[in-house]
A and B are shown apart, each in its own frame.
Chain A
Amino acid sequence: MKRSRVPYIFLIPFFLSFAIFWAFPLGFAFYISFTSWEFRPPLFGGKWVGLQNYVEAFGDRYWLEALQHSFIYVLYEPICIFIGLILALALNTAIKGRSVFRTVYFLPVITSTVAIAYVWGWLYDYWRGPFNAILRLFGLPPVAWLSVWNALYSVMIMSTWQWMGLNVIIFLAALQSIPNEYHEAARISGANAWNTFRHITVPLLKPTILFCAVTATAGSLQVFTEVYTLTREIPTTTVAVQYIYRQAFAYLKFGYGAALAVILFLIILVIAMIEFRLLRRGGMVYY
């Protein structure tokens, strides 16, 4: 019957796209990582070198530093999630102007990171930036936000600012999906506001927190635009993807770059799985 072939036909775009733009690159990346291919003429001169790229990576001080910076950067995540949760809780109960607040928090999320990085560059300006102006107003010493020591943390602050709105939206939806009766039943059973929050709300939010944490980790470890735009010239903020970009497209060392990408890929995978296990065990799996 013709019908049984139809789904396969419908899936052709998927098959094509998947094979060409996903499966092939994935395999090819592994292949390239085992070669010493450089993107110069002759364009296809990849010589098989086995694990040499990987060995080199382990000894590459700058790569390790870049990884380290990426890991530190990820730490902005818990703070961002926490702030998002607090705001969502407040927003969930506040009635007046809820959609206004929501839209305001959302603006940074949909604004281009390049633009944000430019603006924050001006905000962080030592002499003229408003941040230091406010500090001076309170009699506090100005901070060298974009110094070699502080720059990475300043980027983290900027990212917290940009993404907290996303967490607000996600948590708000999660909070609103909890039926009112759960809270009512708790209150009638003698729970005050704190107990209701602790025993009912938080456990029910755990899957959402898990989701935010895992996706944010994977995303943050791949940070690029923020650093590339705000602190490109500050070596103490070079992050992993940035380093890969430089190796592959500035120095044209495709083989080496691919190996680094594979390493990062595996790291993210492992971390995501660990996170998943950890948070899942602490929470409950009742879906």
Chain B
Amino acid sequence: MNSDFCAEGGWFITKDWLRPIRKISVNTLKYSILTIGAISSILPFYWLFISSLKTPEEIMGVITTWWPHNPNWMAFIRAWDFLRPPLPRVLMNSFLVSGSYTLLLLLGSSLTAYALAKYKFRGGPLIFWIIISTMMLPGIITLIPSVMLMLWFGWLNTYWALIIPGAVNAYTVFLLRQYMITIPDEVFDAARLYGCSEFGIYWRIVLPLCKPALAAIGLINFVWNWNDLLWPLVVIKDANLYTTQLALMGLWDFRGSLPHLNLVAACTVYVTLPLIIFSIITSKHLIKGFTGLSYTAR
């Protein structure tokens, strides 16, 4: 009766009275998969946390424990200075660098994107094409020459080296341009009619209208810059300027050292927690930024 119209699949899939059972088992499968994924995502964080709470003796013991016998919060206090430079300085460095970088990036890229989106001029398509092609090119090749540039500018070992070179980023320009194209032209005509300057249009109309896109793209760039290791590693030697990644990397020699493990763990917690909290708060926009990237495929 029913199977007249079935394409394929065994009796489990086609008999209608099995529908509720089918639904439950599919749901169970679904949620199990998701939960396994979630637990495995969380496990390392959990381990990090309890590692910071265990005493060195417990860590050195051969038995693996899943919860510290005597949760010991001392590590968090001692970790405050264990990092070189101390944590507040490190966090400040990273905030300064990543924040300035993001700001500069958004301003520069949005200006560029605006010019490309809403003005017709000779060379416009060419420039856009150039930008697209730079997106595809691997960054490794510019590593060494960029270091030389930093040397010539005298920026080695300064904040400038960490902030300026990223001012215009192809992905950002591309995404913002796509977003700006959707703003109806009449908005600009009206503004010009009412005497707004060209830069004023950019500053007062385009930027506010692009806030969601700016937020999303700015956030992922901020996070990316915060977590970057290679470039800061190459251009910064002065410990006072260490970003969170460099400071954490400074603990490398201690990472396997059992007596210090809880300290290293605590430092790691300190270094990662701000960004995690920040990301959870801004998760909605952050995620939009990442999905926006995937639209560059189209």
Contact = CB atoms under 8 A, between A and B. Distances in A.
**Do A's and B's CB atoms come within 8 Å in the complex?**
yes
Interface of A: 3-4, 6-8, 10-11, 13-14, 17-18, 20-22, 24-26, 28-29, 32, 43, 83, 86-87, 90-91, 93-94, 99, 101-116, 118-123, 127-130, 132-133, 161, 164-166, 169-170, 172-174, 190-195, 207-208, 210-212, 218, 221-222, 224-225, 228-229, 232, 241, 244-245, 248-249, 254, 257-258, 261-262, 264-265, 268-269, 272, 287
Contact of B244 (A112, A170, A193): A112
B157 to A, nearest CB: 14
Interface stretch (B41-49, B74-82, B83-91): B41-49
Interface in B217-257: 223, 226-227, 229-230, 234, 244-245, 248-249, 251-252, 255-256
B21 interface: no
B127 interface: yes
B173 interface: yes
B20 to A, nearest CB: 16
Interface of B: 5-9, 13-14, 30-31, 33-34, 37-38, 40-45, 47-48, 51, 59, 61-62, 64, 66, 107-108, 111-112, 114-116, 119, 121, 124, 127, 130, 134, 136-146, 148-149, 151, 164-165, 167-168, 173, 198, 202, 223, 226-227, 229-230, 234, 244-245, 248-249, 251-252, 255-256, 261, 264-265, 268, 271-272, 275-276, 279-280, 283, 286-287, 290-291, 293-294, 296-298
A87 B167 contact: no
A139 to B, nearest CB: 16
Nearest to A137: B64
A25 B149 contact: yes
Contacts of B45: 107, 111, 119
Given A7-B119, A222-B139, A265-B140, A107 B47 contact: no
Contacts, number: 266
Contacts of A28: 145, 148
B5 A262 contact: no
Contacts of B8: 192, 194-195
Contacts of B108: 13-14, 17
Contact of B144 (A108, A161, A261): A261
Nearest to B245: A114
A102 to B, nearest CB: 7
B66 A119 contact: no
Contacts of A229: 229, 249, 252
Given A115-B268, A224-B230, A25 B142 contact: yes
B276 A110 contact: yes
10 contacts: A113-B229, A114-B227, A115-B48, A118-B251, A132-B64, A161-B41, A193-B13, A265-B137, A265-B138, A287-B298
B49 to A, nearest CB: 10
B227 A113 contact: yes
